[in-house]
């Protein structure tokens, strides 16, 4: 377990895999009539609550300062509430697998933001890997969802906003990371802040009755909360170990998991171009992983994150 906690590649695979499970779980929930905002709340409240219990059980306490509160709520809005709301709104129209592949655009946008803001930059091999992944993502995007069921361009645009929000969050969390704060504490604070924002939105827009459909999918709720809690424990550790650009690669892993889960378990059907793009995306992951390994072993590594 300690090896996994220190391994960027191991953290990438585990975090991306758990993120990918959110897609089929989300499709099952929305198909049962659960509003997108409510399901996003389930993830944030469930993950934050479970991790808070784990934090308190270990003898640690939440330390609230103006800086931490600012970090919690900005991270909550940009990294969790907004992308989850976009994702669960788009899944019924685009499919779980297709929506998941939108995550693959996050590394490219993160790279652009990272260069513009002077945050950790990848080497040329890393840029090449991201470029390859982007080509695969474009191939997928032009298919517009499941085979024979092209989605309206509006929903494709909504899907494209997911990686923009994720990329902004990747950069912000690195730039404003509170000094001396551990990954579990950040995960707890950010998710409970996200749950607070979403709960206010749900009560204002829908009322308490919006939670009623959750009673029809209790097992999905439990599975989603468990996987989300585990994912975000690893998520912030990966942020510290790998940096924002490497962290963004979890979208590649999540896309693969979502695509296969949607096809095998949810009966989704995708074109050959979609699958070809997914393969190219995987090649991009391999290249960027090699780039990360070579950079970490080099003489100069821009390691601005706090572990």
Q: Where are the domains positioned within the chain?
A: 2-296
Distance separating alpha carbons of residues 114 and 108, to the nearest angstrom: 10
Q: What is the 3-state secondary structure (H, E, C) of 101-120?
A: HHHHHHHHHHHHHHHHHCCC
Residue 14 has pLDDT above 60, yes or no: yes
The better pLDDT of the pair 238, 293 is held by 238
User: How would DSSP label each residue in 46-98?
Assistant: HHHHHHHHHHHHTT------HHHHHHHHHHIIIIIIHHHHHHHHHHHHH-HHH
The region that residue 95 occupies, defined by phi over 0 for left and psi between -120 and 50 for alpha, beta otherwise, is left
CA-CA distance, 26 to 100, in Å (whole number)?
11
pLDDT tens profile 85-138 = 999 998 888 887 778 778 777 777 877 787 777 766 667 887 887 788 778 877
Tokens encoding 286? 């391999």
**pTM here?**
0.76
Per-residue pLDDT tens over the stretch 124-180: 887 887 788 778 877 877 776 665 666 678 888 898 899 899 889 888 888 888 887
| Cα-trace Rg, the chain | 18
Of residues 108, 122, 127, 131, the one with CA closest to residue 298: 122
Backbone angles phi, psi at 197, to 5 degrees: -60, -45
């Amino acid at each position: 377990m300690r090896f996994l906690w220190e391994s960027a590649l191991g953290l990438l695979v585990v975090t991306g895999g758990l993120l990918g499970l959110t897609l089929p779980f989300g499709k099952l929930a929305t198909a049962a009539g659960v509003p997108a905002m409510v399901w996003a709340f389930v993830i944030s409240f469930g993950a934050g609550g479970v991790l808070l219990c784990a934090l308190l059980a270990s003898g640690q306490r939440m330390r609230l300062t103006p800086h931490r509160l600012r970090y919690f709520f900005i991270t909550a809005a940009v990294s969790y509430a907004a992308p989850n709301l976009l994702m669960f709104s788009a899944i019924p129209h685009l499919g779980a697998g297709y929506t998941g592949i939108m995550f693959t655009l996050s590394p490219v946008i993160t790279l652009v933001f990272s260069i513009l803001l002077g945050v950790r930059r990848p080497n040329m091999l890393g840029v090449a890997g991201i470029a390859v992944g982007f080509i695969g993502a474009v191939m997928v995007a032009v298919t517009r969802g499941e085979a024979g069921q092209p989605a309206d361009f509006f929903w494709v645009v909504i899907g494209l906003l997911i990686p923009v929000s994720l990329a902004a969050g990747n950069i912000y969390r690195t730039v404003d990371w509170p000094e001396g704060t551990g990954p579990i504490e950040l995960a707890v604070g950010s998710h409970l802040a996200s749950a607070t924002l979403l709960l206010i939105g749900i009560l204002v827009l829908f009322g308490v009755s919006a939670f009623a459909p959750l009673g029809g999918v209790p097992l999905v709720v439990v599975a989603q909360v468990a996987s989300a809690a585990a994912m975000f424990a690893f998520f912030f550790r990966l942020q510290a170990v790998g940096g924002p650009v490497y962290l963004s690669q979890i979208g590649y892993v999540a896309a693969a998991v979502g695509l296969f889960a949607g096809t095998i378990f949810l009966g989704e059907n995708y074109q050959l171009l979609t699958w070809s793009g997914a393969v190219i995306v995987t090649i991009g992951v391999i290249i960027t992983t090699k780039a990360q390994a070579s950079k970490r072993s080099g003489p100069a590594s821009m390691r601005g994150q706090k572990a």
